[in-house]
Amino acid sequence: MTHANLRSEICRIGQSLYARGYVHASAGNISVKLPEGGFLITPTDACLGDLQPEALAHVDESGTQISGDRASKTLRLHQHIYAAEPTATCVIHTHASHLVQLSIQGVWSAQDIVPPITPYFVMKVGHVPQIPYAVPGALAVAAQVAAAIQRSQRDEKPIRAVLLERLGPVVWHASLSQASAVLEELEETAKLWLATNCRATPLSDEAIQDLRDAFGARW
């Protein structure tokens, strides 16, 4: 894609997430890695439902801004994710309500914020660890997310998302459409888990193995 196409795609995904309630006000941010290096990222305090292509921040690999409005305060988080996961070409962070609620109320475990309660969660999302709370944009959080990615790679169970405590999910993938789909599946699974008062029975080990055999699920 050209820069113009990537800018338009970021705006399209932002508008879609905003219209369907996955983001609100000026919460959340989106970035896309550029083939020649560096990336485009939404401006700080921008509403994802009202993004302007020309206002998106263009930064180089070091994080130095080249053009556009001032880059999101989570710039370093996006940089760390791209460095830790070479296959990622985009990152989406939102304050999705049910996931934030879950992080406040209490997750299933630190390494799996919800249990494997649906086949599509297992297939499309996989393991999602929680990252302890720190002030938005904190470098320590970026380092912890990178460490979680590297740990999952060593365990041969690579992750696609984390949940920042009291802030919301961060998802990365090979395209914005794929990242958005993972985000939606994750938020809807949290909604289901909370709706059962966090008592839904997880899929059995046999059922999960069937998903591995049939679809290559990474669980």
d(CA 4, CA 55): 12
Q: How far apart are CA 206 and CA 164, in angstroms?
A: 31
The answer to whether 120 is a known catalytic residue is: yes
**Each residue's pLDDT tens digit, 168-193:** 999 999 999 999 999 999 999 999 99
The tens digit of pLDDT for each residue in 37-65 reads 999 999 999 999 999 999 999 999 999 99
Please, which residues have CB within 8 angstroms of residue 37's CB and are 6 or more apart in sequence?
Answer: 60, 61
Q: How do the residues of the chain divide into helix, strand and coil, expressed in percent and rounded to 5?
A: 45, 15, 40
- Domain holding 29, by residue range, is 3-215
* 90 token code pair: 């985009």
In tens, the pLDDT along 91-137 reads 999 999 999 999 999 999 999 999 999 999 999 999 999 999 999 99
Average pLDDT, the chain: 96
* Domain total in the chain: 1
Q: Are strands 130-131 and 161-164 parallel, antiparallel or unpaired?
A: parallel
CA 29 to chain centre: 10
The one catalytic residue in 18, 22, 120, 133 is: 120
Assess whether pLDDT exceeds 90 at residue 1.
no
CA neighbor of 160 nearest in space, from 113, 100, 209? 113
Q: What CATH number corresponds to the domain at position 168?
A: 3.40.225.10
Signed CA dihedral, 78, 49, 177, 196: sign only: positive
